[in-house]
Amino acid sequence: MAMWLDVVLGVLVPLGTGAAVGAVTRRGLASVRRPVPLTRGWCEVGVGCAWAAVASAGVIGLVAPAWVPVLLVVSVVAVAGCATDLTAGRLPDALTLPAIPLGWAALVPLGGAAVLAGVTGTLVLGGLHALVAVLAPGAVGGGDVKLAAALGAPLAAVGWWAVALVPVVAAALLAAVAVPRARVALPLGPPLLGVSWVVLLAAG
């Protein structure tokens, strides 16, 4: 009986709930002033699977309960951000801007120190990407700057090593993929989001 309960709580419920959240996110992105229409199923399957993975890790004790809200928020941003950046070549404000206060709110179960670190991380990582955008026009876009600000909060709550490590690894992955396809402009968002999600899941 306990095993079936774990399956329901750790897989089926978060899978269904995540799919519903993914559907709402996809529809929301298609209805804003500058819409980003996405193929049906991408956000639903992606967010559903990510939420199921996070919940399963929480049920079996690999992720502390206080970290679960952070991972759920980042999962939605990661799936939707990868989808919009790969298909439309941009990270819409409708996704990145709400992710900043949602990220701060998700840190509340971790305590006041984590929230303070998160706010500072937003300023630091977002500010560094903004500086790069000014000094090297075209290297990063406005959406990348806002995404970095959103990701800076949970990464700083993990530790400043994560704030320093994630952009470096993401840039290295981007460079490794871009070298064989030098004529194709590849977006920064997907590797930044993917590396952040993996680091947060491992650290949680």
Phi first, then psi: what are they for 196, rounded to 5°? -60, -45
**Domain ranges, ordered by start, for the chain:** 2-203
- Tens digits of per-residue pLDDT, 47-60? 999 999 998 888 88
- For 65-100, the pLDDT digits (tens) are 999 999 999 999 999 999 999 998 889 999 999 999
Q: What is each CA distance from 60 to 7, 54, 63, 71, 173, in whole angstroms?
A: 10, 10, 8, 16, 31
Q: What is the dihedral of CA 161, 100, 91, 67, to 10 degrees?
A: 60
